[in-house]
Amino acid sequence: MIGFDHWAATVSHFAQTGPGVNVDIGTTNGIFGGAVSAFLTTLVVGAIMVAVVPAYTERMMTVVLDDPIGSFAYGILSLLAIGFVAVVLILTVIGILVAAPLLILAFLVWAIGAAIAYLAIADRLVGREDGWLKPLVVAAAINGILVVTAVGGLLSICIGAAGFGAVLRNYLE
């Protein structure tokens, strides 16, 4: 009869020497993944926005461009308030049931707002005489490229906050 110690040592040996298992995730993979995620999120959300609600998208783009500082301030203050409320709700344990949907909704509004803000920038850079495809790709590329660098990541958050603030202010005021 094989003892538990022998069995545990054998399992441990096999677990440590599993063939082809590589769990090394470097910083490069995380940065590249973040850039691809930012690119795809902006591209997909932006495409949905211009296909489903183009007039709203254009109106929000104008709001972001007309008052970028106000939109940014509204967005940052809203993010801080949502974060504070979420933490308080999570600490109460029962509030997790409210915090989870709140955070999901905040993420969706953030994705919409950020896509609108990047579309506004891309529209200023390349225009949309040929349609929305060029500004969509440029907006997504700008977001993806900014995420790769540390300073660009901070700028990306600021641009997203301006779009987030414009969308929230439109619904809350």
How does pLDDT run across 130-169, given as a tens digit for each residue?
A: 899 999 999 999 999 998 887 788 898 999 999 999 999 9
Q: Tell me, letter by letter, the H, E, C secondary structure of 44-65.
A: HHHHHHHHHCHHHHHHHHHHHH
CA dihedral (87, 93, 98, 101) positive or negative: positive
In a domain, 25, yes or no: no
Select the more confidently predicted residue: 104 or 9: 104
Alpha-carbon distance values, 77 to 52, 74, 155, 169 (Å): 29, 5, 16, 11
pLDDT, mean over the chain: 85
In a domain, 127, yes or no: yes
User: Which range of residues forms the domain containing residue 44?
Assistant: 32-172
In a domain, 152, yes or no: yes
How does pLDDT run across 118-129, given as a tens digit for each residue?
A: 999 999 999 988
Question: Domains in the chain: how many in total?
Answer: 1
Q: Which residue has the tokens 């641009």?
A: 159
In a domain, 19, yes or no: no
Residue type, 167: V
In a domain, 123, yes or no: yes
Once rounded to an integer, what is the mean pLDDT over residues 102-121? 95
Select the more confidently predicted residue: 10 or 151: 151
Q: Could you give the CA distance from residue 18 to residue 10 in angstroms, rounded to a whole number?
A: 12
**Residue 20 pLDDT:** 52
In a domain, 21, yes or no: no
Q: Which residue has the tokens 């591209």?
A: 43
Q: What confidence category does residue 46 fall into, taking pLDDT thresholds of 50, 70 and 90?
A: very high
Nearest-5° angle of CA 69, CA 142, CA 67?
15
In the chain, the largest separation of any two C-alpha atoms, in whole Å, equals 80
What pTM did the predictor assign? 0.80
Continuous H helices in the chain: 4-16, 27-52, 54-66, 68-91, 96-126, 133-148, 150-172
Ramachandran region, residue 18 (left: φ > 0; alpha: ψ -120 to 50; beta: rest)? beta
In this predicted structure, the answer to whether residue 172 has a pLDDT above a threshold of 90 is no
In a domain, 69, yes or no: yes
**Residue 120 pLDDT:** 96
Tell which residue, 54, 29, 44, has the closest CA to residue 140. 44
In a domain, 156, yes or no: yes
